[in-house]
A and B are shown apart, each in its own frame.
Chain A
Amino acid sequence: MKTVFVKKIYIAAICAVLAVVFLNFYQKEIKNGFYAMSAPIQRFFWQTGTKTSDFFATIYRIKQLKEENERLERKNLELLSEIVFSEELKKENEALRNILDMNPRKNFQLIPAEAIGKDIGTDSILINKGSEDGVFPGMPVITPQKEILGKISGVYGNFSRIVLISNQTSSFAVKVLSDKDISGLVRGKGNFNIFLDLVSQGSELKEGDVLRTDSAGGSYPAGLLVGEISKVKKNDAEPFQQAEISPFFNIRKTDVLFVITNFFPYSPNE
């Protein structure tokens, strides 16, 4: 009796191993099929979740809304004046490029996509564009406001997975958006958190400094908005400064995303 039982266990185990091997051999097709089947339901849950969380967030933050409104109005006015200054600089830049006969700056080629779900347990999301739409691994993904979200890590037929910048495996070079030449490395901490590392001790970081991507490292194109420094951690015993960052991207308010298709990340093997 015991031998028969043990035999059954062995057969079940072998069948299980074969099933797992088979499933992993066709993993991409199986996952693509499930995502295609689940996309309408996931999209419904995602949109319902966004609306519900906005509703509760509004109630929770009613007191702070007035102060935030005033702060944003002030910031808006500051930014308007910066826009005017930037427009002048842009015209000057174009004129100089023409004089020096330099190539014009390329605009990004973008594919619009929608977020339909988040992976369980990791900072990655699923979008509804895949290899059939011209998406390839390594392509950066941004919001309409040119805030960096992450990059494509896995591609299926009609869906792709984006590793967010807050994923613990993510790191990329950034610069502080100011006249000071301060650069560092942003690393993901998980749970939508990121922090700034490898900033030299001599640099003057302050709360509110805005970070943008840097082309050094080659992961992302330069100039995309990353976040704002919320807390500086300076310890003279450490070789580098660190800072906590409030990222600009908000996964809960991400309806439309754009995949940049004409940027190719640097690969050390090339």
Chain B
Amino acid sequence: MSLNPAPKMKFLGSGFESWLKGAAFVAFFYFLAMLQTGFLVHFAVAPAIFPNLILLAIIIINFLESPRAGKGFFGAIFGGFFWDIFSQNPIGFHILILLTLTALMKIILRKYVRFSSIRYG
């Protein structure tokens, strides 16, 4: 019987490509924050309910990636950072909340929930 060691958590890879992916990720969350604070203010999903794109993006990223992957944490840090920048809260407030949410989702998805229709890379 052989014991395979648990695979290491993957982040964005290595080298120039990973920097490019990282920059694109940061730009994506920055764009979401701009859209949220400037454009979507004028639209409500239901009376007085406005969507929170950053939170939605974090949840979707965590659902679609492998529970061992690290993009969710990366997204939580930068999504939370831009959320704090464009709010009254001190920097770090929403970063902590989103990191906690991501960690909880990863634990639940790794131990208790599996989607047969989603194949992780």
Q: Do A and B come from one complex?
A: yes
CA distance A42 to B38 in the complex (A): 5
In the complex, per-residue mask of B1-15: 1 if CB is within 8 Å of any chain A CB, else 0: 000000000000000
B88 pairs with A154, CB closer than 8 A: yes
A20 at the interface (CB under 8 A from B): yes
B43 touches A49 (CB 8 A): yes
A-B contact pairs, 13 of them (CB 8 A): A23-B92, A24-B90, A27-B91, A41-B34, A41-B38, A42-B37, A45-B38, A48-B39, A49-B39, A120-B36, A126-B37, A154-B88, A252-B41
> Taking CB as reference atom, which chain B residue is nearest A57?
B42
Q: Are B39 and A121 closer than 8 Å at their CB atoms?
A: no
Nearest-neighbour CB distance to chain B for A117, whole angstroms, equals: 4
Checking A30, A49, A161 against B41 with a beta-carbon cut-off of 8 angstroms, the contacting residue is A49
**B86 close to chain A: CB less than 8 A:** yes
B50 / chain A contacts, CB cutoff of 8 Å? 191
Known: A27-B90, A116-B38, A122-B88. 6 other contacts (CB 8 A): A30-B85, A49-B38, A50-B42, A52-B39, A53-B42, A119-B87
Minimum C-beta distance from B78 to chain A (A):
13
| Max chain B C-beta neighbours (<10 A), residue from A121, A190, A251 | A121
Q: Which chain A residues border B43 with CB–CB below 8 Å?
A: 49, 53
CA distance A45 to B43 in the complex (A): 12
How far apart sit A122 and B48, CA to CA, in the bound complex (Å)? 12
Docked-complex contact B87 and A121, CB < 8 angstroms: yes
B100 within 8 A of A: no
Residues of B within 8 A of A27 (CB): 90-91
- Which B residues touch A191, using CB under 8 A? 48-50
Q: Does B24 contact A (CB under 8 A)?
A: no
Judging by beta carbons under 8 Å apart, are A120 and B37 in contact? yes
Cα(A43)–Cα(B38), bound, Å? 7
Report whether over half of chain B's contact residues are helix, strand or loop; otherwise say mixed. Answer: helix
- Chain B positions within 8 Å of A116 at CB level: 38
Chain A positions 98 through 122: 1 when the CB is less than 8 Å from some CB of chain B, otherwise 0? 0000000000000000001111111
Interface size on A, residues (CB 8 A): 37
B: interface residue count bin: 20 to 34
Mask, B59-85, CB within 8 Å of A = 1, is 000000000000000000000000101
Set A31, A43, A49, A192: member contacting B40, Cβ < 8 A: A49
In the complex, A52→B41 CA distance in Å? 12
A20/B88 contact (C-beta < 8 A), A49-B39, A191-B48 known = no
A119 to chain B, nearest CB (A): 5
Task: For the complex formed, measure the closest distance between the CB of A24 and the CB atoms of chain B, giving whole angstroms.
Answer: 5
Residues of B within 8 A of A261 (CB): none
Counting from the closest, the 4 A-B pairs by CB-CB distance are A45-B38, A191-B48, A20-B92, A117-B37
Which of A30, A118, A192 is packed against the most chain B CB atoms within 10 Å?
Answer: A118
CB distance from B28 to the nearest CB of A (A): 14
A113 to chain B, nearest CB (A): 16
Between A24, A120, A121, A193, the greatest number of chain B beta carbons within 10 A of the residue's beta carbon is seen for A120
A48 and B40 CA atoms in complex are apart in Å by 10
Q: Is A44 an interface residue (CB 8 A)?
A: yes
Q: B18 contacts the other chain (Cβ, under 8 Å)?
A: no
Choose among B37, B39, B90, B95 the residue that contacts A119 (Cβ–Cβ < 8 A). B37
Are B88 and A30 touching (Cβ within 8 A)? no
